[in-house]
């Protein structure tokens, strides 16, 4: 009976040592993904904010800025919130007792990002193709630089949303395997 308990204790300590280096790799992966997310959100914010173009049509100046559309403003605000959240997490790196709160906030921010990208994509689609039923003409023909900028910002925002989802999965995976080290 004592032999089996000694065997079990040794077995569990060996596996624990092996797993603690594995959890370090997983934690590094999560940190790396967070860094990537910061980069993607900053890129999206900057590209969207610097998008403006103007053209002259029949002696009327037609300026297009990102702040003319509500959806683009929402996009910038959501990406900025996600960027600030990631920066705060990266620099404070909270204790292990708060990891559940961090995971819940990760899910909320990922949903915010996905909804903002989708909203901006919907409005940009109307801008590019128009909507004949509502009588809305496409504007991309007059302000092509604005359209290109918005496309770039949308791609960066989409990448940020994907990275956030990968982050959720990776932190789920690392949290689960650290809870069951004998798995």
Quick check: 160 and 154 in contact, CB under 8 A? no
Taking the C-alpha atoms of residue 91 and residue 70, their distance in angstroms, rounded to an integer, is: 32
Q: Which of 121, 148, 152, 155 binds other proteins (CB under 8 A)?
A: 121
Q: What is the DSSP letter of 136?
A: B
Phi (first) and psi of residue 140, to 5 degrees: -70, -20
- Using CB under 8 A as the binding criterion, the count of chain residues that bind other proteins stands at 51
Interacting positions 87-116 with other proteins (CB under 8 A): 100, 103-104, 107-108, 110-112, 114-116
Smallest distance, Å, CB 36 to other proteins?
A: 19
Burial of 98 (0-12, 13-18, 19+ CB in 10 A): exposed
The footprint of other proteins (CB under 8 A) covers 8-9, 12-13, 15-16, 63-65, 68-71, 74, 100, 103-104, 107-108, 110-112, 114-119, 121-123, 125-127, 131, 133-137, 139, 165, 168-169, 172, 175-176, 179-182
């Amino acid at each position: 009976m004592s032999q089996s308990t000694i065997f079990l204790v040794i077995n569990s300590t060996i596996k624990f040592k092996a797993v603690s280096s594995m959890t370090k790799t997983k934690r590094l992966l999560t940190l790396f993904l967070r860094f990537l997310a910061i980069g993607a959100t900053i890129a999206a914010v900057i590209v969207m904010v610097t998008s403006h173009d103007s053209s002259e049509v029949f002696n009327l100046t037609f300026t297009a800025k990102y702040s003319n559309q509500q959806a683009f403003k929402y996009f910038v605000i959501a990406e900025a919130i996600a960027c600030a959240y990631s920066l705060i997490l990266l620099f404070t790196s909270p204790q292990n007792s708060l990891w559940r709160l961090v995971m819940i906030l990760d899910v909320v921010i990922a949903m915010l990002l996905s909804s903002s990208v989708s909203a901006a994509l919907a409005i940009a689609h109307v801008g590019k193709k128009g909507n004949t039923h509502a009588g809305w003409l496409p504007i991309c023909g007059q302000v092509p630089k604005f359209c290109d900028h918005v496309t770039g910002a949308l791609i960066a925002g989409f990448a940020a949303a994907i990275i956030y989802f990968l982050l959720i999965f990776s932190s789920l995976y690392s949290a689960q395997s650290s809870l069951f080290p004998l798995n």
